[in-house]
Structures are given as structure tokens and as C-alpha cells.
Amino acid sequence: MRIALFLAALSAAAASAATCESLAGLKLPDTTITVAQEVAAAANTPAYCRVAATLKPSTDSDIKIEVWLPTTTWHEKFVANGNGGWSGSITPQTLAAAVRRGYATAMTDTGHQGGSGSFALGHPEKLTDFAYRAVHEMTVKSKAVIAAYYGKPAKLSYWNGCSSGGKQGLKEAQRFPDDFDGIVAGAPANYWTHLTAQSVWTVEAAKADPAGDIPAAKAQAIHKAVLAACDALDGVKDNLIENPTRCHFDPQSLLCKAADAPDCLTALQVETAKKVLGGPMNPRTKQQIFPGFEPGSEQGWPQTFQMAGGLGGDHFKYVVFKDANWDLKSLNYDSDIAQADRIDDGQINATDPNLAPFFKHGGKLLMYHGWADPLIPSQNSIDYVKSVQGKLGNVDDSLRLFMAPGVGHCAGGDGPSTFDMLGALEQWVEQKHAPESILASHSSAGAVDRTRPLCAYPNQAVYKGSGSIDDAQNFDCKVR
């Protein structure tokens, strides 16, 4: 009955356009609209109608969403935006960027406030909201608001997210394949139970013994040594490693010959670097739990050492063991990981390789990951794509992955990290132009100083042999 009433409401909403203020009276299931107001144009953002709502699909749900609807510049498309980490916020700048591109757009706080996982303790419904329900509910209700405001539904719907937002996009493709026509999923945190174990492993590697910690200066020394060993493997000396899987750097080479010094590592620091690069291993089966970080990611390690415990520790503390006093030092990388997987049972994890329903209606999935990501090891994205290929065979018509040399977590780093994945996805969905390469740029002091093509995996950018190495036109995408 609820679904029938909702569909009737949606049909009525789409019959004729509404004023922004009148949306305050729009009746949708489990929804209270709290704000419906016109926002005047400002700076480079056009005027839009701002709608805020609270969704309560369960008795313990308190999902906040915002929907921004361009007043005069709508291109009849909708884009929903992802979150990061444990989510817990809506970022106006993200919504404003989408409005500037002519999109009706939406975002959710996933049902709680703040960046901690503590909300999940004693609140299984809120955990479900975080896992997948908040994003799906936001999507359904946003489409209804869009239809009511413009008097017609959006012609196309897209998802754009990185990190947890990448996980959310994959979960949508897997669980709600009809929600979106195209999905951008960057650096996805999709193997959540194993990623959180890797986070704890990384923190413990660096912090278990303070003498083994790697400060920023030494992280930079490791990075310099990695570049010296592997930069030229791709035929171009450019302070970037095009394919770090070909880089076999041994931290032992930096062991201090005598006293400790800024440009060498103590024996304990060598072990820390090896653990970080190696990733967590099951001590009984010797199976890899999650990939380690790639050579070239070292500059971001110190920040990761400081913050990763909150991501991983919170999951085991509040979700797995339900004990706010649980100590991450006690994590068992055999039985505790198995327990985490059993408890999750596909709730937060978004690892299902069967994307056939999403692909069947023409859905396109565009993934990307920075090779120098110091928060979510980049091999995770490759592993997921390979799992889809293993399940469905050749999926090049529906799924493309782009690896970004020298790029950190979602953005940043020494590599060209400015690129328009959403634009490439639009071309793919709307013009049937499957992306073989995507132009990326790097800037210093506000000016572009390098462009490169990001290539559809497993291709990589190969220098043609002449011309500036800072100009993308001097590179081809090839398997090397």
C-alpha cells in the first residue's frame, strides 16, 4: 500500500511544476520537509531552490537530506553525491558545484552526525541507514522532489562519490541497480570489514612501538628513495611511478649504517615500512586480508598513521565487539576478521561482483583510484574489477577503471589529480562514447604545469619519445 501511495504521489507531483515554497507541503512516505526556500544567485552559483528533509524509514532513523534544484539552468539531469569516512555531514560546496553544472543534486548525512562510528553502538537501524538505506531513500525521495518542482522527472540520474562515496556507488549498483544510469566510484571503501582491519594494522605497525614510528621527514626520505629506484621504469623520469606494481622497493636498503639519521631508517622503522607496504596477513592461513600501500604513497603515511585508527578502530569497537572500551591492540587477524565478515554479511561491504542487473539496463560504472593513495590501497579497486570480470566476463562496455599515477586519496599528491570523471561518464551514457583516456592536470601556484592522460586499466600512459613530458598529447595509452 505504501509503495502504491508513493507512486501515486510521484505521478501527481510530475503533472505540473511547483513553486519552491510549495514543496514544503509535498507529502512523501516517511518524510518531513523542513526547508523549501529560494536561494538567490551568488558568486558563480546560479539561483536554486533548496529543499531539506528528514527521512524516517525506521523508528530509529533520522536521515537528513538536502536537494538543490537550479531555478533556470536545469539540464534535466540529477546527480547524487557521496560521503567520506563514517560520513555524518552534508557539504554545501559539493552541492553548489553540481548546481553550477546544471544538475539537480542531493546529499545525505547517512543518518547521523559527526565522523565517528560511535552512532552504531546500540542502534542497528542507524547502522543499516549508514550501510545503504540512507543513500537509496535519499535517491528515491530526491527524484520525487525533482519531479514535483519541474513538473517532470529527471531524464538521467548519476552518482558521484569517492572513498565511502565510492563504496556507496558500488552498493547502489549492486543492491539498487535501477537507481542510477551512471556511477562514478572513486577509491571505494567497498571491502569495509577488511579495509578497517588494514587501517588498524597500519596504525599498529607505526604506533605499537614509538621507536618504530615514521615521521614526516623520514617518510619523505623513503619517497625519495622509491622514486630513485622506480621512477624511470616507465621510460620517463618525471617524479611519478606510472605502475607501482612493477616497483620492487625494499625498505631494508635505507637501514642506517651507523647512528640514526634523517635520511635513513632504524631497524624498527624498516619493519614498520615493510608492514605498511605488505598489508595485513592472516597469521594462520597466510592469506592476504587486504592489500598494502603501493610504493609512491609514502608522503601520506604520517597523516594516515594519525587518522586511520578512527576509521578501523571504530568499526571493531562499535560494530563488531560493541564495546566502547575495546583496544585495537587486541585485534586478532584471524578469528576477529572472520567474525567481522559474519556480522556484516554484506550489509556495509559492497563486494558483490554481480553487476549484471545494473549493466542490463545500460548502467555505466566508471571507477578511478590514485596509485599513491595512502588511505585505501589502490590494489583494492583492481581486485574488485577483476572479481566482476571473473563473474561476468568482458565488461568493457559497462565498466572502466582509471588508475592515476602519483595521486593520493581521491585527489592531491604529485600526480595530475584534476580530472572530470563525471563529464566522461556523461559522454559514455549519453553519447555512447566509452572513455579510453581522461585528461588530467596538475597545477602549481594556480597554474597548470602538467597534463597527462589517465588510461583505462590495464593500459597506462606511454611516452611517445619526443616533446614535453608535461604535455598529454605526447603520450599514448598502451599496455606496457
Catalytic amino acids? 163, 373, 409
Question: Would you state the cell numbers that stand for residue 176, as one nine-digit string?
Answer: 539498487
Q: Is the dihedral of CA 319, 324, 326, 329 positive or negative?
A: positive
CA–CA gap between residue 399 and residue 385 (Å, rounded) = 8
What letter does residue 387 receive in the DSSP assignment?
H
Residue the block writes with cell 594494522? 201
CA–CA gap between residue 94 and residue 72 (Å, rounded) = 19
Residue 433 and residue 424 in contact, taking contact as beta carbons nearer than 8 Å: no
In angstroms, how far is the first alpha carbon of the chain from the final one?
A: 57
Question: Would you state the cell numbers that stand for residue 137, as one nine-digit string?
Answer: 531513500
String of DSSP letters for 215-281: -HHHHHHHHHHHHHHHGGGGS--SS--S-GGG----GGGGB-SSS--TTSB-HHHHHHHHHHHH--B
| Apex 84 CA angle, 375 and 342, nearest 5 | 75
Residue 98 and residue 79 in contact, taking contact as beta carbons nearer than 8 Å: yes
Residue 200 and residue 312 in contact, taking contact as beta carbons nearer than 8 Å: yes
Residue 78 and residue 104 in contact, taking contact as beta carbons nearer than 8 Å: yes
Question: Would you state the cell numbers that stand for residue 313, as one nine-digit string?
Answer: 578502530
CA–CA gap between residue 407 and residue 385 (Å, rounded) = 19
Closest of 346, 312, 376, 364 to residue 163, by C-alpha: 376
String of DSSP letters for 337-374: HHHHHHHHTTSS-------HHHHHTT-EEEEEEETT-S
Q: Which residues, including other chains, have CB under 8 Å from residue 79's CB and lie 6 or more apart?
A: 98, 101, 103, 104, 105, 157, 158, 159, 160, 422
CA–CA gap between residue 202 and residue 292 (Å, rounded) = 9
Other beta carbons within 10 angstroms of residue 5's beta carbon come to: 12
CA–CA gap between residue 63 and residue 90 (Å, rounded) = 11
| Apex 345 CA angle, 179 and 392, nearest 5 | 55
Closest of 442, 386, 378 to residue 413, by C-alpha: 442
Residue 246 and residue 290 in contact, taking contact as beta carbons nearer than 8 Å: no
